[in-house]
Structure 1
């Protein structure tokens, strides 16, 4: 009835056309904005995306959250520095690393972090201080400090960090603004100070390095659902994390997946290991504070939830990039894939496949010298302590001289050539998952390489002769709960 009056009224309109309602007129631009907003969002610089990602008000968590006022060192963040977590059984490698850093003309202050006095005895602390010719070594018992500040409710909770996870505590607590977080078994072949000038670090305030690509259904690559159809991708624990993380508790919206994340081997379900954390660079004051909130929540709370019992990470290493990605903060990886150095038998058994310690090239994409190796993650190259699991040929009761000769004899002669593409060969012919199958080998031509490693081994053995080695306060108990005691 109303439609008939409208059609035959004084202002008749062409049949089949009706005037748009006011609601439709207002709704059309809104729909257009909704459609193009994700595209526009991803065109923002990463830092602006991070700021736009914030949401208010916060929804409170029912667990304690990170508090900078009680957590961080009392002094204001200043300057650049090196942070090395240590315990008794790694102290000899820490001593030799300090000497190596100074030989490479790094003059940065060094903070040594440990968890309670039993983990690093007084005599070893004195040796570490005396080792530095510049006298710039500080020892920090971070667990005792955070227990006193109320961060840890009990001594037993703090003991959980007598593990790889002390690296996260060290990063959150250190007074350094520009932090170079190192494992004690890093062997530098270039001055570490060059890393502060790397393009990725200058652009984002971070520099991370890739681990080997190892496709196993574990850690963040644990399957949560099976593919619904052939060729479709399984849902992993990593996908579950990004879908169910409590973003609103940190004033965040669920982030749009960046091209960086979507292109990663981790997101594509091709690896259970994304980051090698033997070297981590972060400029703390350039990082949005919410990143630290997310990092602490991942390590101190979320990893204990039932869904994450498989473990998102082997030790600490994945939590760094995950915190940045969840907070939609910019982060940078080296442009190069992880390499391997050779084991003594590799070139005889399979000369295009190396199975030794992980290594990385200098992370400059425009570097024309493709042979500039930056570091080796070299516990197996340096460690003087016999472990049955390593099947060392040297006897467990060998003399220090015999151990030194054994390690020097095993110095690698070859390394995997530099590559930008991470990959893994499925047909492994029984080779260990850490072997880089078919990725080639090049001879170490740098004349400095072998003398540097000989010196580092000799320094390690000299320190091992005098340091006291013993398990931390509750090594076996923590190892059983963590599944990843520090090597």
Structure 2
């Protein structure tokens, strides 16, 4: 299948091909003649697949080294990871040398050389709040109730099993639930505020802070103090652990796991078999433990939430064509369908998933998932996560923002079932009344926070912190934003406004076909406005007085200095 070449790589690819084609052919012929594949040409049903994996010229990350048609690396990666799950992951009949050759090609970001030569130094240290250290094992917790720490879960490494198979076996011995937060030096303040909210909510789930060696002892102590000080029955101390995952990463690729990409490390290498991954600036308004009871998690072992349905930022024509060709090469659609819409509906049984896929492949939408809170059972979904990592670093990595879309697109391309919580994302904050030209009133909310509500309109969680603006952008905004400069006399007034706590009066889900999300450019370009007019467009959740009081208490705790 022909896929469009990236303009920026076309000249480089042609030039490279001309220069090295002859040498490459000679060298390849020599290697094929001189070397015997590690995997025999006879034997198990997986022999052919494994032999192909071993000899596959896999490059990683694709965005840095891929010189072929954009998207072809994605098709290859999905196929290889499918074969890996089917033939290698839990296959105990292979030889260690065979497995090492395969995993070194598929997962070059892993520090597998250290695993082979010095296993103890490979495993990330897991340090409890009191200084207790685990290495080569994971903490084990009670499965219900107070989730009490029960000691270490250990497993002897089986060299005739893949690394990921060994990892799943170790996690199965913990069989635990817990909260995972990826934290760097820049997220300490938000993380401490989140921990205080969790204590207020009487959280009993253990918490792991995942980092890459970039948290100092002093910064870790700040988090421990937030989790353990002033313990009382109504403000319980938290079971807090720190996990430094730098050892598991190949030094040649470690720095490529930056910003959003660290979240893959957090959810994959967390000690919990069923982790709840939350951003440091995420704020729950119900106990996180309750998310395990959501229908989507019980049925599929996953819980995803929708993002703002932004219609002003779409895939361009080339991106859309590439995604369609990738999808047609990997996913199973209804073959008897009259058009792409019908094919998606026939091939994807979950209505919410089908709507999401149509939104991307037919309408060109690029904002679908909000990854500030994600719940996954890794015993079911590990290879989907590994596929998401490959997509994050593929030739199409720039098509979407950050990590969020790769979660569900991995399921789509691997033909695995997925869904979303049915409620659309909303804008939350102070309800403003605006009068239209025809004299009718409508409600407006302008906010940097994206919110998620239950079917009854009550708040589940918010991403973006609980200040009016989460960025220190008052100087630049006052200088460049006309609306801000017209509302305030000087930048100090803007600063005071930006740093003030949010007021949670209601939430609006806009009707994007009539009154879409309005990008304002304020708060370092993070602010959006939404509109609601009764009987015409939008959906309004106007919080009751008891709800507002409960929500404002969380706002107060999050914004407190103590």
Q: TM-score range by the shorter chain?
A: 0.5 to 0.7
Residue by residue over 1:404-453, the C-alpha shift from the partner in whole angstroms, topping out at 9 and shown as x without a partner, is: 99523x42322126x9xx74436778867943344143432152534544
Q: Distance in 2 between matches of 1:403 and 1:161?
A: 35
Q: Distance in 2 between matches of 1:442 and 1:135?
A: 33
Query: Pick from 249, 269, 273: which aligns with 2:367?
Result: 273
**1:427/1:137 Cα in 2 relative to 1: closer, same or farther (>3 Å)?**
closer
Query: Cα offset for 1:268?
Result: 2.8
Matched, 1:102 2:204: no
Unmatched 5+ residue regions in structure 2?
1-45, 60-104, 116-121, 125-135, 138-169, 229-236, 333-343, 436-440, 479-483, 522-526, 533-537
**1:241/1:378 Cα in 2 relative to 1: closer, same or farther (>3 Å)?**
same
2:421 aligned residue: 334
Residue by residue over 1:341-394, the C-alpha shift from the partner in whole angstroms, topping out at 9 and shown as x without a partner, is: 1357x43478434332211113xxxx6xx1321111133637665224666869
Residue by residue over 1:242-283, the C-alpha shift from the partner in whole angstroms, topping out at 9 and shown as x without a partner, is: 245699xxxxxxx99424444222233252101000110001
1:323 aligned residue: 410
Spell out the pairing of 1:192-231 with structure 2 (5 A cutoff).
Answer: 192-216=288-312, 218=314, 221-224=315-318
Matched, 1:258 2:348: yes
Spell out the pairing of 1:110-259 with structure 2 (5 A cutoff).
Answer: 110-117=207-214, 120-133=215-228, 134-142=237-245, 144-147=246-249, 152-154=250-252, 157-216=253-312, 218=314, 221-224=315-318, 235-243=320-328, 257-259=347-349
Unmatched 5+ residue regions in structure 1?
1-53, 226-234, 248-254, 464-487
Q: Distance in 1 between matches of 2:490 and 2:415?
A: 51
1:229 aligned residue: none
Contact preservation (8 Å) 1:294, 1:326: no
**1:332/1:283 Cα in 2 relative to 1: closer, same or farther (>3 Å)?**
same
2:530 aligned residue: 436
Query: What's the secondary structure of 1:92's corresponding residue?
Result: helix
Q: Distance in 1 between matches of 2:197 and 2:489?
A: 26
Matched, 1:284 2:378: yes
Query: What's the secondary structure of 2:360's corresponding residue?
Result: coil
Matched, 1:373 2:468: no
**1:427/1:337 Cα in 2 relative to 1: closer, same or farther (>3 Å)?**
closer
Query: Pick from 293, 298, 303: which aligns with 2:391?
Result: 298
**1:216/1:335 Cα in 2 relative to 1: closer, same or farther (>3 Å)?**
same
Q: Distance in 2 between matches of 1:203 and 1:112?
A: 28
Contact preservation (8 Å) 2:284, 2:462: yes
2:40 aligned residue: none
Query: What's the secondary structure of 1:379's corresponding residue?
Result: coil
Aligned residue pairs, count = 363
Spell out the pairing of 1:357-372 with structure 2 (5 A cutoff).
Answer: 357-362=449-454, 370-372=456-458
Query: What's the secondary structure of 1:202's corresponding residue?
Result: helix
Contact preservation (8 Å) 1:83, 1:179: yes
Q: Distance in 2 between matches of 1:424 and 1:121?
A: 48
Contact preservation (8 Å) 2:371, 2:403: yes
Query: Pick from 65, 75, 89: which aligns with 2:106?
Result: 65
The structure whose residues are more often helix, as a share, is 2
Scaled by the length of structure 2, what TM-score is found? 0.56
Query: What's the secondary structure of 1:172's corresponding residue?
Result: helix
Q: Distance in 2 between matches of 1:294 and 1:361?
A: 29
Query: Cα offset for 1:85?
Result: 1.1
Query: What's the secondary structure of 2:375's corresponding residue?
Result: strand
Matched, 1:355 2:446: yes
Deviates most, 380-389 or 101-110: 380-389
Where relative contact order (Cα < 8 A, 6+ residues apart) is larger, the structure is: 1
Query: Cα offset for 1:94?
Result: 0.7
Query: Cα offset for 1:337?
Result: 0.7
**1:137/1:270 Cα in 2 relative to 1: closer, same or farther (>3 Å)?**
same
Q: Distance in 1 between matches of 2:384 and 2:191?
A: 29
Spell out the pairing of 1:78-93 with structure 2 (5 A cutoff).
Answer: 78=174, 79-93=176-190
Q: Distance in 2 between matches of 1:212 and 1:462?
A: 31
Contact preservation (8 Å) 2:178, 2:206: yes
Query: Cα offset for 1:179?
Result: 0.9
Deviates most, 426-435 or 351-360: 426-435
Query: Cα offset for 1:237?
Result: 4.3
Query: Cα offset for 1:458?
Result: 4.7
Contact preservation (8 Å) 1:295, 1:320: yes
**1:372/1:187 Cα in 2 relative to 1: closer, same or farther (>3 Å)?**
same
